[in-house]
Each structure stands twice: as C-alpha cells, then as structure tokens.
Structure 1
Amino acid sequence: MDQVINCAVSVDDSIDVDAVKLEISNSILVKHPRFSSIMVKDSCGRERWRKVEVNVDEHFIIRRESQITDDPSISDEDAVNDYLADLSVSTPLSLSKPLWEFHLLLAHKYAVLRLHHSLGDGISLMSMFLSCCRRADDPNQRPTTHGIGASSSSNDRKIWSLLTKLLKVIWYTLVYVIEFALRTLWLKDKRTAISGGAGVELWPRKLATAKFKIDDMKTVKKVIPNATINDVLFGIISCGLSRYLDLRSPKALKEGLQLTGAAMINLRKQSGLQDFSELMDSKKGARWGNKFGMLLLPIYYHKGGSDPLQFVKRSKAMIDKKKLSLEGPCSYKIGNFVMSFFGPKLAGVLNYRILSNTTFTISNVIGPQEDITFGGNHISSVRVTSSSLPHAITMHMVSYAGKADMQISVAKDIIPDPKVLAKCFQDALLEMKEAATTIAKS
C-alpha cells in the first residue's frame, strides 16, 4: 500500500545539522539491514531487499528558509502540520535509495523522519529511535523501554473459571473473525460526514494535533474498575466523534449508529516498547519488522448530553470482549497465509478493502516516560502520522514524558476543520476528568 510514516520531533534549541548527521552516521540506523537496503525486482518480478552503501547526505533534506509558509503569523506547530499534510500526498519516498529520509526544518526547530512502513511497525521504529537517544537527566543512560506498556490483568482467573473463559475465547473469536471476513467482502459502515473510501488516500490532506495529559487520562481510568489508558482513549474518540458529527450533521444521524475503526495491536510476547538488542536477536523471539494484528473496533454515535464517562464504560466493555478473542493473531495469520501463497498484490487488495469499508484508523504507541535528548538537544515533543490509507480520518497518538499528542490527518474536502475535531477530543477528556473528579470526591 506504499504507506509512509512521518515522525515530527521538535527540539528546544537550534538544530546543528552537522551534529545530527554525525549522530545518524554513528547510529545503528544506517547499519540496520532494512535501513541499508533497497527494494528491487528479480527476473520473476518478485520484490527483494538488496544491500547498498548508505550515503547519509542523500537522506537529508535541509529547509533553511525563515518560514515554510509565507504567512509569518502561522505558528511553528501549524506550519509543520501543513508541511506534513503536503508530504503525505505529494512526495513519495525515492526507490533508488533506502526508504527513509530526514527533513530538517531549521527555522521551526523541527526534524521530520520519514520511513516506509515496510521498514518496521510503530513498536520496532520507536524502539530503534530510543536506542539513539539519551535521558535528559542522565546523558549516560538510554530511555526506559522494558516495563512500558499495558500489562495484562490476572483478575480473569479469579472471576471466571477456565472453562467459561475458554468458551468465551472460542465464541468471540468466531464472531469477530467472521465479521472480519465480511468486512473484506462487502460489509461497510453507513455513510456519514466523516466517511472516506477507495481513492480518498490520494485526496489533499489537513493535519491538526489534539493534546492530552496522561494524568488526566489516569484520573478517568481510576474511577472505572479495571480500565486502561486505551479504554479511556477509545472513550475519548467515541465521545469526540459524536460531538463533531452533532456539529456537522445535527438531527441527521440515528442514535447508536456504528462507526468502525481499524486498530493495530502488537503481537510480540512483551507488550509496549521492546529492548532494541532483543528485536535484532532472532533467538529472543521479539522480532524486528511488522508484527501486528488488526482489530475492528466499533464505536457508536450518541447525541450530546450523555454522561461522558458512559463513553469510556461502553468502550471498555467492547475492548474487553476483543481482548478475550484471538482476532488480532488470526488477522495476522490470515494475512501471512495470503501473502505467502497468493502474493503481496492480493494481500494488499484485501487489506485495502477492509480499510475502505471502515471509517477511521487509530493507533497508540507508548513513548518514553522521561525527557530525552538526541545529539545533546532536548526533545520537546514527538508526533506521528501516516499516509496512503483510504480513510478520511486517521489518528495516531504517541505519549512522551506525561503528555500525549494525537495527530489527526483528514481529507480536507471531507473534514475541512480538523482543529474543531481536535478540540472535540480535548473537551471530551476534560469533561470526563471533571466527572471522574466529582465521583472521587463523593
């Protein structure tokens, strides 16, 4: 699908171009097999990786002008978001060199790392990025990786008998795998003001950032038994999209209308970030690359005035069922089977159809818990988005040092006001926090 990941990193001080190039030249990145190979076709037309010599200078694009845009009133954040939105539809990665590049936007103190998704998934790439960074409070230490991620709960063993749980696993897996197959064939969401579809990945884009505090999400999580940050995030998405649809098409939508999101889940044994050395060691079993399954996560439209915490409770109930199923591993095995026996073209077509028949993409990658530096320069934010998906709205959240930024990429002819949508998400969390605080005090 030629999907490209765009990671925007902002720093506090002016970017030293030579220092950044030196850091990259000495990093594991240029030595990694995927980052030092190009994709070629053999005599039978099959694509293969071929090792090449990496010229770091060829992978750097330096923008030295004072502004990306002609309007000096536009903030650095908005200017970089506009730049990323343009890149996502107008500038593919060159196939004549390894599929990654750095854009240094010197006037805005931003570095944009662009990578083809074939180089790795979010867990792999974030783990590699952190291997090149250092903790701000101790430059001799690398950022924390082990222990970052959602831990599985053992309460299930105490509440349900093993037989009951096994029956639920079988039932939910059967139901969700059948639904997955139907999505591939013909089943699709009803059209709304935020629907995309085949070809929408080529439409012009806009980008906005929704900003959250992890502590606010934890406040909400505490008042809902056994809830996780992902439950809260999906509650925010559900509430925020309902609010936005109320603004765009009031009285036009049926209460309880289903909107389906496509979410990717890590299938490695360790949840969350991985130790980079273990990713590169085939004997460890963590495995570099793309090792994720797809979940279809439905949300339901509800008119304004609802208790905001109800969105989280409904999301938790749905996600708990998904966790009991084997939908993620099954989707990975099915995709791997199709790829192995029928080739990447058919696998790509099936994947594309699933996305065309759903409404949005959502991902959440856990970043470092502490402040970090790269090449001695303090990093103030890390944001990620991706291109080439046939959704009118894609959302990618990355947490960093107590904050979480969600990049919202939209097809601007369908969703012309992504900042309004971002505010709907932010307001949803604030209302949830207020309701949770009231419950905690009572």
Structure 2
Amino acid sequence: MVCPETSSDEPLTPAGRLFLQPETDIVIHCIIRGKNPADMDAIKSAIKSSLMVQHPRFCSLLVRDKNGFEHWRKTPIDIGQHVVVVNNRLDKSGNFIDQTQGSTTTEEDDEAAVNQYVADLSVSSPLSTDKPLWELHVLTAHKCAVFRIHHSLGDGISLMSMLMANCRRADDAEALPRMVPDKKTVIKGEKGRDWFWLFGVLWWFLKMVVFTLLFSMEFVLRSLLVSDEKTAITGGDGVELWPRKLATAKFLLDDMKLIKRAVPDTTINDVLLGMVSSGLSRYLDHRTPNVLHEGLRITGVAMVNIRPQPGLQDLSKLMKSNTKARWGNKFGVILIPVYYHKGGNDPLEYLKRAKAIVDKKKHSLEAYFSYKIGDLVMSLLGPKYACMLNYKLLCNTTFTLSNVAGPLEEISLAGNPLSSIKVNTSSLPQALTMHMLSYAGKAEMQILVAKDIIPDPEFLAKCFEYALLEMKEAVLRTNKA
C-alpha cells in the first residue's frame, strides 16, 4: 500500500524491513490447542480486551511512502477481518471431511490434520497488507487455533511474551503463567583476586576475541561462498516455494533434565543439539546408508536472544521505547555445526560434542556480530542486499533450529484450558526447520520439511524421540554401574 507519509507514521526497524522482502517474507505460526470446544464469542471478546490490540504493532497498517520506505500507520481494528473460522473437520491430507457420513478420529488424526493445515499455510497464504499483519484461524472441529503473526511485528520472544501476558494459570484464573526462573548471577567477593585471578580474566578475554573472530569470519564466508555438502536433507535456492509437510516430535522435560545432569554444566539447549545431531545421523543412515563419510558437517542456523534479560520478557517493559528489553526483532544468528556419525557410538558422545560446540559459541560475540552486520548492511546498502545476504546464508546451510521456554504449568486462554502450544514459521530456502517449545513439563518440536526432499517427517520425528531415549538409557546405565 503506497500512501503519502504523515507525521504520526513510525518507520520500520531494519530487521522489520528485512522480513518484508519477498525472499524472506516470514510468518510465525503459533498452534494453540484447547481442551474444550472453541467459544467464538468469548474468543472475540478476549481479543478486543487484550493487551495485543493495544500494542501499536498489532493495530497499524504497513504503508510505503513515495520513496519505497516502509512505515507503521495506526488504524482502527476490525476483529472480524482478522478471525478466520473453519467449522469443517479436516483429514490428514488437509482436505475437508464430509461429516454427514460420520467418522471417528483419534487425537493423532487431529494433530496430523492441523499440522497439514499449517503446512499448507506456510507456503501458500501470505498475510494481506490491507490490514494489520496478523490473523487467528480457529479450527472449531479440532479445538484448535492458529495464530499467524508476521515476523516484522516481532521475534519469538516478543510474541510469546505477548501471548503469556494474555493467558492465566489453569488453577488460578487471576494469576499470570509462571515461567522458567532465571538463574541468579553470583557475584564473588574480593577474596582470591590475585595475579592468578587476573590471568584467568585475561585468558577468558583472549578466548572471547579469538572465538569471535573465527566464528564471525565463518559467518561471512557462509553468507557469501561456503555451503554444506549435499545430503538427503539439503534444500537451497527456490525450495521455500515447494510444498510442505509438518510433523511433531514429543519429549518429556524430565528426561532432558535427567540427561542434562549427567554431564556437568550442561544446558537443555546442549541436550537439544545433541539429540538433533544423533537423530539426523540416524535418519541419514536410513535414507542413504553407506554413502556419507564419517564426520560430515551439517550446518544449522540458530536464533539467539541478545536482550540483556534472557528468556521471556515482562510485556510492560517490552512496550516501553526507552528500555533495553524492547519489543521487536532483537536476536542474532549463530551457526551450529553437527556431525554425521554412524550408529554404534556412545549416545552421550553426541551430547558431549554438542556441549563443546555451544560452550565456544557462548564464549564469543557471534550473535551480536551477526545482528550488527545485518543492521549495517541494511543501513548502508538497503534491504535488497541485506535480504540477499540472509537468503544466501540460509541456502548455504541445511536447517534452522530454535527453542523457546514456555510456562511451567497448564494455562488457559479466553477461559479455555490449553492442552498444547506449538510454534513454527513459514517456509525458508531450507528443506528442514525445527522449532521447539516447552509447556507444562513437556516439549514439542515442530518439524517443517519440503516433502519432495524429506517425504517422511514422521519418521524423522521418531529419530529425534529415539535419540533422546537412547541418551536417557545411557545415563541410567551409567548411574546403575
């Protein structure tokens, strides 16, 4: 929409402009499943009174001035334009079922039907710029809603913080959801601060400089020249337009915590990366046995929140323009290498290798560098070249991986208790994207694939589930010994 600029218009951030380019036009999908049938009147009433419609990003149109620069312009919200109601039941292929014939469906059938509905949305349904860039699709027969938000409105941390601010605990209708508590930083006293302490600080700083230089150089090369070797899961230029399939891998957080405790100073993200490495090796062994060489590198792209405060944010702080925990797309990118290994290895070796990689990444400023380099390219050369850089990086890597911590206990939205929350994005020039979100002691990973490259995402999901089970059994054997 091209309109003359007004004094009330607010220009988009560089990251927001990036996500509006045709090659990187990304929509975030949040799948919310309720325990009870959807009450449309309650849903619309909840939206009208929610904090969401008070936020300027959710009640603004995207407009472009005569020079092509994008701006946000405030506009009245018509809830009816944003809510799409699907009353008919869907089958596993995403087609409508003739309900007059009568049929029985299981929870697995429901999940497969919703997954295919979202997979189809991920390649065929961009958000209209005639209204603010969000929608809510309510699949009444499946007790499910799909919240679609354009990535230019904010990143996963911003949008999940918004969702949690509008939810309440299932056991207390007045209480906000409890999130994973942040670790408190322990500040050591002056005792022991001698020459050895100073040497340790200098050594830590030197390693940070070296790792930052190495990883930043790799980031630039991956964005311009170097690409992964071709495998059975490799995408590339144009793959974002191919048909998609969506599968779900399910885990227990207690299992991940048990494995985490087996290796000192390990995090859930280390366990996730070890599981992904093991699962991909198992899947590639199944698809292309005796073809790949031992230690083959497969590179992933991971998003890292670079706000000072980790995890989900206080929405009141996000909505203030003068706070460090600001709303928007405040994340950097790091490259995560995993390596193909044939079966028979100790399952915990995948975890130990993942921890070693992640520790080095944490000790560098790669995420901040990637954020700043993207911002610099956008400012100096414009969105065309920033988009080209980002698109090339995705083409030269194999998968995207993200992980967001959700509420600790079950919650309700618009008075309806939720049974699950899952997230993913629209398609990228990769054949494989994985997004994990934890909810009430469980974690579910949405695995979006280009189905002509990865025709069996359900089997890939089982590979990840089995990889975690193998690591758990290895820990239990070690504990018994």
Give the TM-score normalised by the residue count of structure 1. 0.97
Q: 1:397 aligns with which of 436, 440, 444?
A: 436
Instruction: Kindly state the Cα deviation for residue 337 of structure 1 after the two structures are TM-superposed.
Output: 1.0
Aligned twin of 1:172: 211
Instruction: Kindly state the Cα deviation for residue 39 of structure 1 after the two structures are TM-superposed.
Output: 1.2
Deviations 1:286-313 (A, max 9, x none): 0000000000000000001111110000
Are 1:25 and 2:25 counterparts? no
Q: 1:318 aligns with which of 326, 333, 357?
A: 357
**SS of aligned partner of 1:161:** helix
**SS of aligned partner of 2:322:** helix
Instruction: Kindly state the Cα deviation for residue 149 of structure 1 after the two structures are TM-superposed.
Output: 5.2
- Paired letter, 2:466: D
Are 1:290 and 2:332 counterparts? no
Instruction: Kindly state the Cα deviation for residue 332 of structure 1 after the two structures are TM-superposed.
Output: 0.5
Deviations 1:162-218 (A, max 9, x none): 011011000000000000010111100000000000110110000000000000000
Deviations 1:378-397 (A, max 9, x none): 00000011013111000000
Give the TM-score normalised by the residue count of structure 2. 0.89
Aligned twin of 2:5: none
- Paired letter, 1:108: H
| Equivalent pair of 1:392/1:415 in contact (CA under 8 Å) | yes
Provide the alpha-carbon RMSD of the alignment. Answer: 1.7
| Equivalent pair of 2:243/2:450 in contact (CA under 8 Å) | yes
* Structure 1: segments with no counterpart, 5+ residues: none
- Paired letter, 2:331: F
> What stretches of structure 1 move > 6 A for 4+ residues in a row?
150-155, 157-160
In the alignment, the residues of structure 2 paired with residue 70 and residue 16 of structure 1 have an alpha-carbon distance, to the nearest angstrom, of 21
Call closer, same or farther: CA 1:153–1:221 in 2, change over 3 Å. Answer: farther
Deviations 1:405-434 (A, max 9, x none): 000000000000000000000000011011
Are 1:140 and 2:177 counterparts? no
Deviations 1:241-267 (A, max 9, x none): 000000000000000000000000000
| Equivalent pair of 1:293/1:331 in contact (CA under 8 Å) | yes
Aligned twin of 1:269: 308
In the alignment, the residues of structure 1 paired with residue 27 and residue 186 of structure 2 have an alpha-carbon distance, to the nearest angstrom, of 34
Q: 2:137 aligns with which of 103, 112, 116?
A: 103
**SS of aligned partner of 1:262:** strand
Alignment map for 1:392-431 (pairs within 5 Å): 392-431=431-470
In the alignment, the residues of structure 1 paired with residue 470 and residue 183 of structure 2 have an alpha-carbon distance, to the nearest angstrom, of 24
- Paired letter, 1:97: K
In the alignment, the residues of structure 2 paired with residue 153 and residue 238 of structure 1 have an alpha-carbon distance, to the nearest angstrom, of 33
In the alignment, the residues of structure 2 paired with residue 214 and residue 268 of structure 1 have an alpha-carbon distance, to the nearest angstrom, of 25
Q: 2:379 aligns with which of 308, 333, 340?
A: 340
- Paired letter, 1:134: R
Q: 2:276 aligns with which of 221, 237, 262?
A: 237
- Paired letter, 1:11: G
In the alignment, the residues of structure 1 paired with residue 335 and residue 183 of structure 2 have an alpha-carbon distance, to the nearest angstrom, of 19
Instruction: Kindly state the Cα deviation for residue 341 of structure 1 after the two structures are TM-superposed.
Output: 1.9
Q: Give the number of equivalent residue pairs.
A: 440
- Paired letter, 1:60: V
- Paired letter, 1:31: Q
Q: 1:86 aligns with which of 113, 120, 126?
A: 120
Instruction: Kindly state the Cα deviation for residue 269 of structure 1 after the two structures are TM-superposed.
Output: 0.7
In the alignment, the residues of structure 2 paired with residue 377 and residue 150 of structure 1 have an alpha-carbon distance, to the nearest angstrom, of 32
Q: 1:300 aligns with which of 334, 339, 359?
A: 339
Report % sequence identity: 57
In the alignment, the residues of structure 2 paired with residue 273 and residue 143 of structure 1 have an alpha-carbon distance, to the nearest angstrom, of 11
Instruction: Kindly state the Cα deviation for residue 340 of structure 1 after the two structures are TM-superposed.
Output: 1.6
In the alignment, the residues of structure 2 paired with residue 336 and residue 440 of structure 1 have an alpha-carbon distance, to the nearest angstrom, of 49
| Equivalent pair of 1:149/1:366 in contact (CA under 8 Å) | no
**SS of aligned partner of 1:363:** strand
Instruction: Kindly state the Cα deviation for residue 441 of structure 1 after the two structures are TM-superposed.
Output: 2.6
In the alignment, the residues of structure 2 paired with residue 162 and residue 66 of structure 1 have an alpha-carbon distance, to the nearest angstrom, of 61
Larger-Rg structure: 2
- Paired letter, 1:208: A
In the alignment, the residues of structure 2 paired with residue 153 and residue 234 of structure 1 have an alpha-carbon distance, to the nearest angstrom, of 27
In the alignment, the residues of structure 2 paired with residue 65 and residue 207 of structure 1 have an alpha-carbon distance, to the nearest angstrom, of 20
Instruction: Kindly state the Cα deviation for residue 151 of structure 1 after the two structures are TM-superposed.
Output: 6.9
Deviations 1:111-158 (A, max 9, x none): 00001001110100000000000011111111124x545777989x99
